[in-house]
Structure 1
Amino acid sequence: MDKNFLWGGATASYQCEGAWNVDEKQESMWDHYLHLQELENGDIASDHYHRYEEDIRMMKEGGQTSYRFSLSWPRIIKNREGEVNQKGLDFYHKIIDTCHKYDIEPFVTLYHWDLPQYWEETGGWLNLDVCQAFEHFSEVCFKEFSDKIKFWTTFNEPKWFIVNGYFIGNYPPGLQNVQKTMIAAYHVMYASALSVRAFRAGNYPGQIGVVHSYTPVNGVNDSIETKIAMRYADNYCNNWILDTAAKGEFPIDLVAKLSESYDVSFMEEEHLSIIKQNTVDFIGLNYYARTLVKPYTTGETQLIFNHTGKKGESKVVIKGWFEQVKDPNSEFTAWDTEIYPKGLEDGLIEAYERYQLPIFVTENGVGVREDVTVDCVNDDYRISFMNDHINAIMNAQDAGCDIRGYYTWSPFDLYSWKNGCEKRYGLVAVDFDNNQIRKPKKSYYWFKEIIESQAKLIQRKKYN
């Protein structure tokens, strides 16, 4: 690995900070939704708001050289008028300054799902005004922190918060409407371009990108029907984010297909021009699994995702487009996530060939139930998972891909959206029931050795 390669962990404001109503922070859409539904929430989470120094110090002691975190929009902007909360800015200055104190490179995401509820009440991402509000939020952050930050990203995983929020309905705002999904998706990509434009207009130092939940698409065979299904799946899973952010264009065949049944008149020439002119400097790819598909056969659209940790609950069928299937030879987690490191290698090569932009693997990890009351969690399964996925990155680099960083999800246990706190990803155990005690897991020490060796200790293998 190059000596400038970034090794780190990734978190999200809502999933780790807690302090949901502290220091004039406003309510987020997730605060509102989870409180209303009476579901496990991130009110306290990992209490990173009060324990950030300990957490960042442990990252340093674990050999990590970068920390990817997000800024909470409702912590920084008080209202629809755009009034700034100085206490929110002060908190993130402390986070960033602590990173620099420990020689940790901050890698900042502007939006990781926690829209202010005061904007959700106006329609959220269905409201074009929210795009301008995000531009304002971006400008506030660029002006405040630009002298301390080299790497910015606009959005984390537009696919997940848009599809789950507006199409599937299992995330806020809990809608199930294709037309509204299209509008919200379009607005998010437009907002991303506005943020990039503001970054460039301000001539701020550093680079700006986007982070995507990347699921490279494979087919069950090489038939024409399967290849068509793969293209549908790729447009649904990946291309409307990556093509738009990196090339400045929505996939034309996706727009054409949707226009057969839905209204696309919301796509205005002025917006499309801004999207075209404001593409990203790099892409961040969050990889957990691939998407394996076969041609659509029969039945209605079904999108069921496992939030219970009971195997076999997931199902993805999009009527007339494709069906997702499971490889009987693969291993799956209790949450139905396939463990398939070859997908990362293939996907990195595919993305680099397509976009010719630097790539950061901005999330990669495995969520499991763990007993954290022991002295040290023996998570050999996580070590094996990380070894094989870092190996996949190295294979892609050998093939010529420009990959500049790897971030495990996550440096410490945190709240995992509707999976609650029992789905643990951290290298450091957090005992949520016992004063938030932090204890490094076996994987924490292993990762330190890998980083210090610049990955020379990775067990190399070639995937068929």
Structure 2
Amino acid sequence: MKYTFPKDFWWGSAASGPQTEGTFEGDKKGQSLWDHWYDQEPERFFNQIGPDNASYVYKRYKEDIALMKETGHNSFRTSIQWSRLIPNGVGEVNQEAVAFYNEYINELIENGIEPFINLYHFDMPMALQEKGGWNNRETVDAYEIYAKTCFELFGDRVNKWFTHNEPIVPVEGGYLYQFHYPEEVNMKKAVQVAYHEALASAKAIAAYKRMNLDGEIGIIVNLTPSYPRDENNPEDVKAAEIADAFFNRSFLDPAVKGEFPADLIDLLKNINHLPEVKDGDLAIIKENTVDLLGVNYYQPRRIKAKESKVKAATGPMPDDYFDNFEMPGRKMNPYRGWEIYEKGIYDLLINLKEDYGNIPCYISENGMGVEGEERFINKDGVIEDDYRIEFVKDHLKYVHQAIQEGSDVKGYHMWTCMDNWSWTNAYKNRYGFISVDLDNEGARTIKKSGHWFKEVSDENGFDEE
């Protein structure tokens, strides 16, 4: 069977500034919360490798863009680092950063690769984090100015903008489950952080529209479909709906529909955890929905009715309303501990078609992290990552099926282009089409999957017997 994708389908990959750029003498970058956390607790990071040792793209972007072209990219998503462009979060703009991002963007365009630029990828400037980060209303105002600065500097060439990547992650990681700084467990703060992120996104969209620029602006959300253990059990179904409200619809609904989910509002009201809202805020959110949606999909969420009696924390937590369910016989990525469920990508695309007005969207992340890929190097020095080819192909089949059924999905970006630094996991799991050899000054080598992806992009699809 031939799987052919629509004309002008976006083939490429995704990355972020903090995970790829690195830090270099004279770059005048300010400190982000990741730089600070690494300084404070380097032992929290795999092999004690910090963000200063991200993939050196700041120096090697021309080489990397040539490799993108060689691996079939017609588009590529990365982010501007707020702490690089405006080192203190507010105030003076770093001209070294302006020059870098201008050259980076221009180089992409000159090589026929459309830049998709995201504004926030978990990298709060530390000067703002010290004042509360997203928990502080002032950060919303600072972010709006940062966004406008980016549009003014680069909006003449960048036509695809995104306000946030996975805005639920700073909420979960920083204020519920302690896998991001500041490692708090405080649902009241988590709700306020989420609200401020959603408001900041709408304000950035409003600013973009006022400037009458020629492009589109959206948001990138990680959608993790919540499947009940038993679809015929009302309590399991209700638990899955609550999990969906917390982790998917909390950002998807305001971004696309301009309002927060009613069931989530009711739940938060019942436990006296509604956020502080100023007059006019909800109108801003209502009137400034996204043009385009980026969808990150890695794994499903399996949910059952609450059975365990153990409280996750002293105060309220999302986990008070459901338990996670381990489906028997599930397929796993053992390195990441995540279930592989390819049909999930189809289910979420059909949900967007049926319940969200078939908003134009694209798969902005999907990928497979594997530890110890050097085991698969052949005699020519190439990593034979057939498992990654299979993973991508099996997900693309379901993307294709969704398109056949009317989904307005416009592209597929794998996470990621070259192996990159991944937060506290550093380089533990590798995700790239291109390997990065940390023991050889970050030398790059295209993996088998990268050569395969070039064929897919050239053919705008693939054959499968």
- Give me the TM-score of the superposition, normalised by structure 1: 0.93
Report the equivalent of 1:387: 393
Counting only pairs closer than 5 Å after superposition, residues 258-273 of structure 1 correspond to structure 2 as 258-264=268-274, 266-273=276-283
Partner of 2:259: 249
Which residue does 1:308 correspond to in 2?
none
Alignment of 1:100 onto 2:109: yes
What is the DSSP-based 3-state SS (H/G/I as helix, E as strand, rest coil) of the residue aligned with 1:412? coil
Question: Given that residues 46 and 436 in structure 1 are in contact (C-alpha distance below 8 angstroms), is that contact kept between their aligned partners in structure 2?
Answer: yes
Q: Please tell me the residue identity of whatever aligns with 1:102.
A: N
C-alpha distance in structure 2 between counterparts of 1:279 and 1:260, whole Å: 28
Task: Give the letter for the 1:339 counterpart.
Answer: I
CA–CA distance in 2 between the matches of 1:406 and 1:69?
14
Aligned residue number for residue 361 of structure 2: 359
Instruction: Give the corresponding residue for 1:172.
Output: 181
Deviates more, 1:373-382 or 1:78-87: 78-87
Identify which of 47, 50, 55 aligns with 2:59.
Answer: 50
Assess if the C-alpha contact under 8 Å between 2:225 and 2:344 holds in 1: yes
Aligned to 2:244: 234
Aligned AA (2:40): L
Deviation at 1:160, TM superposition (A): 1.0
Q: 1:264 to 1:100 in 2, by over 3 A?
A: same
Which amino acid in the other structure matches residue 78 of structure 1? P
1:406 partnered with 2:412:
yes
Q: Which runs of 5+ in 2 are unaligned?
A: none
Looking at structure 2, the residues matched to 319 and 153 of structure 1 have their Cα atoms a distance apart, in angstroms, of 30
**1:259 corresponds to which letter in structure 2?**
K
1:62 touches 1:448 (CA, 8 Å); kept in 2?
yes
Would you say the 8 A contact 2:312–2:320 is kept in 1? Answer: no
- Contact 1:296–1:318 at 8 Å: present in 2 too? no
CA distance in 1, matches of 2:303, 2:200: 31
Shift of 1:326: 2.0
Aligned residues of 1:300 and 1:319 also touching (Cα < 8 A): no
Distance 1:111 1:319, change over 3 A: closer
SS at match of 2:170: helix
Q: Which runs of 5+ in 1 are unaligned?
A: 304-316
Deviations 1:350-408 (A, max 9, x none): 12221121011000100001343830111110000000011111011011100011100
C-alpha deviations, 1:277-316, integer Å up to 9, x for none?
A: 111001110000111111111223449xxxxxxxxxxxxx
1:81 deviation in Å?
4.0
Moved more, 185-194 or 328-337: 328-337
> Matched residues in 1 for 2:207 and 2:320: separation?
40
Q: What pairs up with 1:291-310 in 2 under 5 angstroms?
A: 291-302=301-312
- Tell which has more relative contact order, 1 or 2 (C-alpha 8 A, sep 6+): 2
Tell me the alpha carbon deviations over residues 408-436 of structure 1, each in whole angstroms, 9 at most, x when there is no partner: 00011011111110210001010011111
> In the TM superposition, what whole-angstrom CA distance separates every residue of 1:122-159 from its partner, at most 9, and x where no partner exists?
11011100001000000000011111111000000011
Q: 1:282 — aligned with what?
A: 292
Whether the aligned pair in 2 keeps the contact of 1:301 and 1:318 (CA below 8 Å) is: no
Letter of the 1:25 counterpart: K
Alpha-carbon distance between aligned partners in 2 of 1:16 and 1:79, rounded to the nearest angstrom: 21
Secondary structure at the counterpart of residue 230 of structure 2: coil
- Report which stretch shifted further, 95-104 or 364-373: 364-373
In 2, Cα distance between the equivalents of 1:359 and 1:104? 19
Measured on the aligned residues, the alpha-carbon RMSD in Å equals: 1.5
Q: Is the 8 A contact 1:209 1:281 kept in 2?
A: yes
- CA change 1:187–1:64 in 2 (3 A) is same
What secondary structure does 2:119 align onto? strand
Q: Would you say the 8 A contact 2:31–2:87 is kept in 1?
A: no
After superposition, the Cα gap between the structure-2 partners of 1:407 and 1:84, relative to the gap in structure 1 and judged at 3 Å, is same
Aligned to 1:448: 454
**SS of residue paired to 1:168:** coil
Residues 310-349 of structure 1: CA deviation (Å, up to 9, x unaligned): xxxxxxx944411112222221112211111101111111
Write the mapping of 1:55-454 to structure 2, written as runs, cut at 5 A: 55-222=64-231, 223-264=233-274, 266-302=276-312, 318-333=318-333, 334-356=335-357, 357-372=359-374, 374=377, 375-454=381-460
TM-score w.r.t. length of structure 2 = 0.93
Size of the aligned set, in residue pairs, is 446
In the alignment, residue 29 of structure 1 is paired with which amino acid? L
Partner Cα separation in structure 2 for residue 412 and residue 435 of structure 1 = 14
Amino acid paired to 1:107? F
- Partner Cα distance (2:132, 2:373) in 1: 41
